[in-house]
Structure 1
């Protein structure tokens, strides 16, 4: 797991990244301790940035993790994943872009519109064929299922970062 050219930050304890040969940082192995210079795949907490931020109960300092991850991706290269409707996107600098994806296309049961901010990366690889549903509303899922990164998405991101 360590010594990898690529780190996955803010992952769930049961994340598919654990089996993909990347340096993994979950809540126990605090992502803020990452000091490498390699590319990162960042999944910072989104509850204080998304549609339901008014009722979210983030931990102290949690909101700032997304800004920290955004700067890290700018500096090291890689990808940051956040909801398409996230307020984080207003912090993009002129000329920075995102890629809109649907996590359903990677096996998530919800459509889950997501933006990927990327920096210092090769051309975007082909996306999988589009899923036609039916989709389960994300609000009808338990927190763990809502937050889990689909294995195919993790594999696609790792392959892209290493290409």
Structure 2
């Protein structure tokens, strides 16, 4: 089984229970990753997301996103961020459907509800080293999610997810991302 580095994971990450995952959480510090294997990167998104004007990121947080992009480009794998992340423009990552960059990277867009998240949670996946036909099976799910990430609490609206649920990766998505990274070719 090909090992995969999980970068910028939560301390209580589901990845710590998956075989073959070398997990870098806050204590282990992804900035110490030495390479040699494909990566699944979940860099902090609050400095890059739609609500960044209301966020209070640490001074170095934006650089963690840039580092994650560089590591995916060097070793192959995937970076996950919210749809609309400004990291894409800052790092010249192609938008979904816009082709490839000079590292042959491309962006796949999908809601995390397809992998069991309670909310839609639209996400972008920057992928390097795996061709579209080589993706693991994508479990497309139709219909409305049971919850929302955030709304204006209108009467009759779906309930909000908790902050911890916004940050956790659903186990089926974690397994899918690890399998995707294992399929990386020509790197590491």
**Could you state the TM-score of these two structures normalised by the residue count of structure 1?**
0.92
Distance 1:53 1:81 in 2: 17
Q: Secondary structure at the residue paired with 1:54?
A: helix
- Do the aligned residues in 2 keep the contact of 1:46 with 1:83 (CA within 8 Å)? yes
Match for residue 115 of structure 2?
A: 106
Unaligned segments of structure 1, at least 5 residues: none
Deviation at 1:93, TM superposition (A): 5.0
Q: Deviations over 1:106-159 (max 9, x none)?
A: 011110000000111252222103142333111223221101000000001111
Q: Distance in 1 between matches of 2:119 and 2:82?
A: 13
Q: Secondary structure at 1:128's aligned position in 2?
A: coil
TM-score, normalised with respect to structure 2: 0.80
Deviation at 1:92, TM superposition (A): 2.5
Unaligned runs of 5+ in 2: 95-99, 151-159, 184-188
Partner of 1:14: 12
Task: Give yes or no for contact 1:6–1:23 (8 Å, CA) kept in 2.
Answer: yes
- Secondary structure of the equivalent of 1:81? strand
For 2:169, which of 142, 149, 154 is the aligned residue? 149
Given that 1:25 and 1:31 are in contact with CA atoms closer than 8 Å, whether structure 2 keeps it comes out as yes
Aligned alpha-carbon RMSD (Å): 1.5
Q: Secondary structure of the residue that 2:137 maps to in structure 1?
A: coil
Q: Which runs of 4+ in 1 moved over 4 A?
A: none
- Residue 116 (structure 1) aligned with residue 136 (structure 2): no
2:85 aligns to what? 86
Partners in 2 of 1:86 and 1:93 — Cα distance?
A: 10
Q: CA deviation at 1:54?
A: 0.2
Say if 2:137 is the partner of 1:126. Answer: yes
Counterpart of 1:129 in 2: which secondary structure? coil
Aligned to 1:135: 146
Q: How many residues get paired?
A: 160
